[in-house]
Amino acid sequence: MTAHQWRGVIEEYRPLLDIPADTPAVTLGEGGTPLVHSDWLSGVTGGEVWLKVEGDNPTASFKDRGMTAAVSVAVHQGAQACVCASTGNTSASMAAYAAKAGITPIVLVPEGKIAAGKMAQAIMHGARVIMVRGNFDDCLKISRGLAEHYPVALVNSVNPDRLEGQKTASFEIVDRLGDAPDFHLLPVGNAGNISAYWLGYQQYADLGHATRRPVMRAYQAEGAAPLVTGEPFPNPETKATAIRIGNPASWKLAEAAAAESGGRFAALTDDQILSAQRELARRDGVFVEPASAAGVAGLLQDLEQGESYAGTTVAITVTGHGLKDTATALEGFGPVVDAVVDAEVEAAASAAGLS
């Protein structure tokens, strides 16, 4: 028997993607990520809770799904360089796919607000990294300006090709569960991901691959919660730097996803987000970055507020890997090692509480 090799989201789902039919795929084998059953959250809710673990993508975040599509189309159309604004994951992904395609990645990031792992990725893949004295929203404005006036392709999620690749995550969830979940929970920043998931769920239902569409519930950090308050945040602030965004580009699409699905947005404190991150790592063995835990923190908040998920199927996207930002993860832990001992079994046994 030959083991099936996952071919990346373009080749796995090409007929369902609205990109030029003959676009060669620039791929690193993205997608096909695990849907892990959360025994912890299923127990807490009395439902079936599944984690879509997007940190298992090639550059360790969900961004690779959309990036394979955007870079493939850009290269097919003759681009020699591509640009994006980023809180870190988009830039890491873009740099990798640009490297694979042999084009120049140009990255604009808010100064001092990018996790070290993400910065290392952009640098290692050969990106030109430009730090901006401003926030993500400023970086996006500049990226749009560069793409308008210079020969560089904009690959932020305002580029519709990004959503086409990204929506494959919904397809995978339905393919695995046999139908759409009752609820889908996820973090929101620039709002491309929620828009793409909704696109994918609708398409699958229209095609008859799913009998229903999930209720979309999306969570922001309270210091960067424009979709909750209905107003842009001029100075967004949160330890979950990936979603430190005050004026999401896909605002309207995200609102439509929430409204059409009967869902909503809610805000979380940084403490709620960081606590969910730790619990998820300890209880389910899934280490995600802070922003990625917002869906889990949101579920716990909903339960506290009297919401019931009993008897339902819930998918939660955990968007990026914990190794991207170990500094924030380890804050508040004090000394990171429990004990330092001489190289002896007895000393280790006693330090481990075994003797």
Interface residues with ligand F0G (CB under 6 A) are 61, 63, 86-90, 157, 187-193, 242-243, 289, 291-292, 319-320
DSSP E strands: which ranges in the chain? 35-37, 48-53, 81-85, 104-110, 128-132, 153-154, 183-187, 215-221, 264-268, 313-318
Q: How far is the CB of 238 from ligand F0G (least distance, A)?
A: 11
CA distances for 210 relative to 180, 203, 267, 344, angstroms: 6, 9, 30, 58
Q: How far apart are CA 219 and CA 174, in angstroms?
A: 22
Q: Which of 178, 168, 202, 197 is nearest to 6 (CA)?
A: 168
Q: Which of 164, 97, 104, 95 is nearest to 124 (CA)?
A: 95
Q: How far is the CB of 240 from ligand F0G (least distance, A)?
A: 8
Q: How far apart are CA 81 and CA 95, in angstroms?
A: 10
Q: How far is the CB of 297 from ligand F0G (least distance, A)?
A: 12
Measured from the CB atom, is 47 or 186 closer to ligand F0G? 186
Q: How far apart are CA 266 and CA 257, in angstroms?
A: 14
Measured from the CB atom, is 48 or 164 closer to ligand F0G? 164
Q: How far is the CB of 6 from ligand F0G (least distance, A)?
A: 22
Measured from the CB atom, is 95 or 99 closer to ligand F0G? 95
Measured from the CB atom, is 162 or 213 closer to ligand F0G? 162
Q: How far is the CB of 243 from ligand F0G (least distance, A)?
A: 5
Measured from the CB atom, is 47 or 147 closer to ligand F0G? 147
SS3 109: strand
